[in-house]
Chain A
Amino acid sequence: MRRAVDALLRKELRLELRAPQAVPAMALFSVTTLVVFHFALQRGQVEGDLAAGVLWVTLLFAAMLGTSRLFVADHEEGGLDGFLLAPVDRTALLVAKAVAMFAFLAAVEIVAVPAFALLLLEPAPDAGTYAQLVLVLALADAGVAIIGTLVGALAVQTRARDLLVPLLALPLLIPVVIGAAKATTPLLLAAGAEAVPLRWLAILGLYDLVFGLLAYAVFDFLVED
């Protein structure tokens, strides 16, 4: 299993570095959307629940772009068949794709979160706020990566991939958006950041666990004939 995950992950990251598809599209979408929010909201700053909502809607829609592209090279160039011919656990593909998606999201957030702070936050968050935000981002990204991998594997087999991904993924990700927005809101208060409520972190962690197990149970059926 570890050998297969290692092989798949190396391939995944190498392909993204060699012929970038997901990360640039997601990053560009995020920054553009934040610029549009900056002008559309007609104010130089947002705070609290509105700020959290703007951030998570932007990141979630950017994630849809990455999800649509997650299995395209494997499907169009036969890599999925090559993997299915190997004597390895199918779950290795789920793990490798989810880890790759998590890495792509993290890379996008390295660009998108500072852009968000620059365009829409006043004053800029301090280091402690960023540290707490990283924890929320990590828990939410794990859920997005798991759902993205499941939905991506299903949607790539259809012609309506770009339509199917948001239709399937967004309803499943509503709990992640709620949890992430609730956890982020105290960090973005104009009066100063407050501690992240542990309850929402626990909910995000539980979501990751439940959907991780669910993905483990059904992934074989998604990639096999």
Chain B
Amino acid sequence: MDGPPPAIELDGLTRRYGERVALQDVSLAVPAGATLVVFGPNGAGKSTLLRVLATLLRPHGGTTRVLGHALPGEGWAVRGRIGLLGHAPLLYRDLSGRENLAFHARLHGVPLERAAELMERVGLTARADDKVHTYSRGMVQRLAVCRAVLHEPDVLLLDEPRANLDPAAGELVEPLIGAASGRTRIVTSHDPAGGLAEADLALGLRAGRAELFGLASQVDTTQIGALYR
């Protein structure tokens, strides 16, 4: 008997920006609760892959299924079950940290207490009422982590999630977005050893194509390094 369907399943995913191909014929499957780490040089298609999975970009070819729902047609069914932490924090600079999280909490139908609890966990309570444009980059990233997990998503899409975080801040957000969170995670990384260590599966992208895909334990750092040459 077959097991549960993969949380994420791509078969020949293609995405273009005008004439330029950002993703071409990418196929993979990620079981529920597993972590996929995505490597690749700048412009390889990592962020585009995350935005397609987040339903923010439409796939132009192939099949894309998230939590059993085909995109883009059934995107409505998976929004609210996905948390995206991208390069942009998706926060309003002239609102305070608390107001930003309250805005997203209202959109997701989450109690405002959850926002306060998350700010406490990432050490932002003392600055909760300050405008975001007064935050350091690390503080903005911590607040963006709170926003991404506010609604307790089943799938986390993390684009270099530890960028701008010092080691102490990294430890604070680890229970929320790390492997221990128990969520299905797609994580982009430029750190071969660190990325492979926290992942179950690894994907290597170059110029939009999947150059490698397999168990993280069977991929070595030299294969990852080759993607960047």
Chain A interface (Cβ within 8 Å of chain B)?
A: 3-4, 6-8, 10-11, 14-15, 18-19, 73, 77-79, 81-88, 224-225
Cross-chain contact B103 with A77 (CB below 8 angstroms): no
Residues of B within 8 A of A15 (CB): 92, 94-95
**Does chain A have a CB within 8 A of B56?**
yes
Cross-chain contact B55 with A79 (CB below 8 angstroms): no
Of the candidates B76, B79, B91, B103, the one whose C-beta lies within 8 Å of that of A78 is: B91
Can you spell out 20 A-B residue pairs with CB atoms less than 8 angstroms apart? A3-B107, A3-B109, A8-B107, A10-B103, A10-B106, A11-B95, A14-B99, A15-B94, A18-B94, A73-B94, A79-B90, A81-B84, A81-B90, A83-B107, A85-B54, A85-B80, A87-B81, A88-B107, A225-B56, A225-B58
A88 to B56: give the CA distance in the assembly, Å: 14
A78 to B58: give the CA distance in the assembly, Å: 18
Of the candidates B76, B93, B106, the one whose C-beta lies within 8 Å of that of A6 is: B106
Interface size class of B (residues with CB under 8 A): 20 to 34
A10 to B106: give the CA distance in the assembly, Å: 10
Residues of B within 8 A of A83 (CB): 107
Q: List CB contacts (< 8 Å) of B76-105 with chain A.
A: 76, 79-82, 84, 86, 88-95, 99, 103-104
A19 to B92: give the CA distance in the assembly, Å: 11
A4 to B107: give the CA distance in the assembly, Å: 5
Residues of A within 8 A of B82 (CB): 85
Residues of B within 8 A of A10 (CB): 103, 106
Cross-chain contact B58 with A86 (CB below 8 angstroms): no
Among A18, A77, A224, the one with the most B-chain Cβ atoms within 10 Å of its Cβ is A77
Of the candidates B93, B108, B131, the one whose C-beta lies within 8 Å of that of A86 is: B108
Cross-chain contact B95 with A85 (CB below 8 angstroms): no
A2 to B90: give the CA distance in the assembly, Å: 22
* Least CB distance, B129 to chain A, in whole angstroms: 12
Asked if A11 meets B76 with Cβ closer than 8 Å, knowing A77-B91, A85-B54, the reply is no
* Least CB distance, B124 to chain A, in whole angstroms: 18
Residues of A within 8 A of B80 (CB): 85-87
Residues of A within 8 A of B107 (CB): 3-4, 7-8, 82-83, 86, 88
> Nearest CB to that of A88 among chain B residues?
B107
Residues of B within 8 A of A225 (CB): 56-58
Among B55, B92, B94, the one with the most A-chain Cβ atoms within 10 Å of its Cβ is B92
Against A, the Cβ 8 Å flags (1 = close, 0 = not) of B113-154 are 000000000000000000100000000000000010000000
* Least CB distance, A21 to chain B, in whole angstroms: 10
> Nearest CB to that of A224 among chain B residues?
B58
Of the candidates A6, A11, A19, A82, the one whose C-beta lies within 8 Å of that of B90 is: A82
A81 to B88: give the CA distance in the assembly, Å: 10
Of the candidates B54, B57, B76, B92, the one whose C-beta lies within 8 Å of that of A79 is: B92
* Least CB distance, A5 to chain B, in whole angstroms: 10
A3 to B56: give the CA distance in the assembly, Å: 22
Q: List CB contacts (< 8 Å) of B29-62 with chain A.
A: 54-58
Residues of B within 8 A of A18 (CB): 94-95, 131
Asked if A78 meets B56 with Cβ closer than 8 Å, knowing A7-B107, A85-B79, A86-B79, the reply is no
Residues of B within 8 A of A3 (CB): 106-107, 109
Cross-chain contact A87 with B103 (CB below 8 angstroms): no
